[in-house]
Amino acid sequence: MFDINAILGRGYKNVAALDIGSSYIKFLELEGDNLENLVLKHYATEQIPRNLINEDGKIENSDDLKSLIAKCVKKSGSKTKNLVISLPNSSIINKKIILPKFTLEDDLKDEVYQEATKLLTSDIYIDDVNIDYYIIGDNPKNSDEDEIMLVVSKKEKLDQRLAVLEELGFNVFIVEVEQFAFQNLLKLMKGPDFLDNTYILADCGANALKLYVFKECELIYTKDSEIGGVVFIN
């Protein structure tokens, strides 16, 4: 889960974000040195034809998607090539795990990969997935252990998106997950209050309603319902 302060701290003054949804592409560009002076510089959307991206998030026609993204970016007027994207929750598996504290990063990485194999079904191999993780902090029950968020995604879905964007000349330097992006959003909106209270966030999309429940800064419940805001007429 990335922190926007960390992006600005890398020296990126202009950062763009692209959301490839089931019905729309949304593109925006932010400019600024810190959270206090961030400005929305460019924004545009473009409708995606039905069946271009299937229910599992797989791209059915890369050339058509590339053309739509290029059209959307041109409409926005943005020139930046530094890009942040996200993966839908349906494309990833995430789990909080507890591991002993490791002195060497490689030892921690090996143990995380072992834990990741336990999340895979029999028809998915470790070479077919991307694995990422971050240390949340000390295990409240044992200071000699760390709480770690483990995230696993199929390479095919991410590689498809990266290939399209690289062909368009973008530098994709962060790949986020939807639910973590919402968590960051609430942190920015609520500040210290987010640490001590419970919040329910509703994401009303074209094809689904997604509910997220956060308690004391932690996601404790999610639910997707097939109730969307767009009616398709054949």
Separation between Cα atoms, residue 1 and residue 69, nearest integer Å: 25
User: What pLDDT is recorded for position 92?
Assistant: 85
pLDDT for 79-123, tens place per residue?
999 899 988 877 888 889 999 999 888 899 999 999 999 988 888
Helix (H) or strand (E) holding 182: helix 178-190
Q: Mean pLDDT over residues 149-174, rounded? A: 90
pTM score, whole prediction:
0.77
pLDDT of 206 > 50? The answer is yes
Q: Mean pLDDT over residues 218-227, rounded? A: 81
C-beta separation of 156 from 58 below 8 A: yes
Cβ–Cβ contacts within 10 Å for residue 83, how many?
A: 22
pLDDT for 65-89, tens place per residue?
999 999 999 999 999 998 999 888 7
Q: Mean pLDDT over residues 195-220, rounded? A: 84
Separation between Cα atoms, residue 93 and residue 191, nearest integer Å: 28
User: What pLDDT is recorded for position 73?
Assistant: 96
Q: What is the 3-state secondary structure (H, E, C) of 70-108?
A: HHHHHHHCCCCCEEEEEECHHHEEEEEEEEECCCCHHHH
User: What pLDDT is recorded for position 8?
Assistant: 45
Q: Mean pLDDT over residues 145-166, rounded? A: 91
**62-76 vs 155-167: helix axis angle to the nearest 10?**
50
Q: What angle do CA 117, 154, 180 make, to 5 degrees?
A: 90
Question: With bands split at pLDDT 50, 70 and 90, how would you rate the model's confidence at 229?
Answer: low
Question: With bands split at pLDDT 50, 70 and 90, how would you rate the model's confidence at 12?
Answer: low
Taking alpha carbons only, the member of 107, 101, 106, 110 closest to residue 135 is 101
Separation between Cα atoms, residue 21 and residue 180, nearest integer Å: 16
In the chain, pLDDT over 70 holds for what percent of residues? 89
User: What pLDDT is recorded for position 147?
Assistant: 92
Question: With bands split at pLDDT 50, 70 and 90, how would you rate the model's confidence at 234?
Answer: very low
pLDDT of 56 > 80? The answer is no
Separation between Cα atoms, residue 232 and residue 188, nearest integer Å: 35
Across the chain, what does the average pLDDT equal?
A: 84
**More confident of the two residues 17 and 195:** 17
User: What pLDDT is recorded for position 1?
Assistant: 45
User: What pLDDT is recorded for position 209?
Assistant: 84
Question: With bands split at pLDDT 50, 70 and 90, how would you rate the model's confidence at 35?
Answer: low
